[in-house]
Homo-oligomer: A and B are copies of this chain.
């Protein structure tokens, strides 16, 4: 930790810049991915349907709109508009909460799940085709370093 200064500052700034580029690209890729799920949804609708899918993938009956809102950091009104749109497109549906008769849960419809899974399979195939050209050492290093970064980045609001 002693001989740090300038050189390290530069390395940290490089990592920061590459992460900004990655996050920006991921954000703009969401537009394309959203359109693959349904031509009428945008990046916000994509974030919403992904979060609902994530919340039920672990076996739950559905997710509460308030939890979706919290996880995505979006206003309740924005989430509410998005839910109405996804429902109108037949991608998600509201069901009764088995644990609370008055509450409603959100889940993907069969159509929504089919479309979401098809988009995800396509996204994974493209991603794997790219990383398949990397050698074992690089893949191992990237996985390990991202794992460490995720462990270190304990953002206080992180829901995961």
Contacts and interface: CB of A to CB of B under 8 A. Distances in A.
Interface of A: 4, 7-9, 11-12, 14-16, 18-19, 21-32, 34, 42-44, 46-47, 71-75, 78, 124, 127-128, 130-134, 136, 138-143, 145-150, 152-153, 155-160
A152 B130 CA distance: 7
B146 A25 contact: no
B31 A157 contact: yes
B74 A153 contact: no
A42 B74 contact: yes
B143 A14 contact: yes
A44 B8 contact: no
Given A24-B159, A25-B160, A134-B148, 6 more contacts: A8-B132, A18-B143, A25-B153, A25-B158, A30-B73, A142-B149
Contacts of A134: 148
Given A23-B26, A158-B28, A136 B8 contact: yes
Nearest to A124: B16
A155 to B, nearest CB: 4
